[in-house]
Copies of this chain bind each other. A is one copy, B any other.
Amino acid sequence: MFSQEMYDLGAQPSVIREIFEYGKARKAAIGADKVFDFSLGNPSVPAPPIVNETIKKLCDTMVSTELHGYTSAIGDTGVRQSIADYLNRTHGTHFSSTNFYMTAGAAASLSITFKALTEPDDEIILFAPFFPEYSVFAKAAGATPVIVKCREGDLQIDFAALESAVSTHTKAVVVNSPNNPSGVVLSEETILELCAFLERKQKEYDKPIFLISDEPYRELVYGDVKVPYLTKYYDNTIVCYSFSKSLSLPGDRIGYILVPDEVAHSSEIYKAVCGAGRALGYVCAPSLFQFLIPACLGHTGDISAYQHNRDLLMNAFAEDGFQVAKPDGAFYLFLKSPIADAKAFCEKAKEFELLLVPSDSFGFPGYVRVSYCVATDMIERSLPAFKKLAESYGLV
């Protein structure tokens, strides 16, 4: 009648969605200002002014059939070159337009990349905690996701666990730094060790292992934290990027896949990316949003608002006795549940009108995700509730 697998995927209750619905009902019942919703990962700062300014300018100046017409499937050449130039200026790389394939955002970038790479019996290694859709995209591509838990505490890579998980079936390893759901940035030390590990395994198995870097949060880091640019550390790196978070336009769906020349069989893999894009029904990335990008490179929404939110919460959590993984980027905190059962902890939090996401669906039980892409005044009003929650567990 229909695909049972697709039905299951569509009918699957989403934890975040359920919390969203609960929050909506609760806000209606007791007033929106009384509910403290930390469940959603939707940017809360507006797009930088240059976004709407450029959209309007494009409407006024570009020929309609070009602005709204098909670009080639790989994306407009000028747009791709502008991204190459920007990255080269910023990171000292040497990309050209031909290394880029424009996509409809990070989910498209990952789906297409997994599909382009996957052969029968392939496995893709995911580090937990991870964005749950990784697993959906890997399975849809025909690969088996293999989960490797990060170290408790700092959530850096656990190399002993990675050693046990990697095999001749390993096609790729996915890193996401800054991380959703934890906000953790992989240190340069971790990256160096990971790349050395992968080089060794490539030699041992006599085959490439690809490092897929999903980095929509690259620009969202605080203080003097650096996010290493991975193509400079490991040749077989493929970058999946999205402008969703940096430019605060997650709904508009624009990003890219970067296949550097140094990647083994790079031109064949680029063609496989083109083929996968075709097979998945992507004709071209949304054209108006492609043409928007050159003017916006290097711009972001007001990230200082996120940093302020993070600092407010981190200070409060320290006072309350909560433990939090070191949060250097994105707009998430990963707070350790004072009890083993994070779902029960989230239920308890609801008694104080705090909406948090249990970490089980991120493959790393015992924590909750606190999304701080919210209004600062909501955070300020929520702090007494967090204190009461801590008190109820005797933390303070």
Contacts and interface: CB of A to CB of B under 8 A. Distances in A.
A25 interface: no
Where chain A touches its partner, the secondary structure class is helix
B56 A69 contact: no
A69 B43 contact: yes
Given A140-B280, A251-B284, 8 more contacts: A1-B269, A10-B277, A42-B65, A44-B65, A52-B60, A104-B104, A107-B281, A110-B281
B208 A1 contact: yes
B6 A276 contact: yes
A273 interface: yes
Copies of this protein, total = 2
A5 B137 CA distance: 18
A105 B283 contact: yes
A108 B253 CA distance: 14
Nearest to A271: B10
A82 interface: no
Interface of A: 1-12, 42-47, 51-52, 55-56, 59-60, 63-65, 67-71, 104-105, 107-108, 110-112, 115-119, 133, 136-137, 139-140, 207-208, 248-253, 264-265, 268-290
Contact of A280 (B12, B270, B281, B288): B281
B251 A118 contact: no
Contacts of A278: 9-10, 133, 136
A118 B140 CA distance: 14
A253 B140 CA distance: 22
B248 A119 contact: no
25 contacts: A2-B116, A3-B116, A5-B275, A6-B115, A7-B268, A7-B275, A10-B275, A10-B278, A11-B274, A43-B69, A51-B64, A55-B56, A65-B248, A67-B251, A68-B248, A71-B251, A104-B253, A107-B283, A110-B281, A133-B278, A136-B278, A140-B279, A251-B286, A251-B287, A253-B283
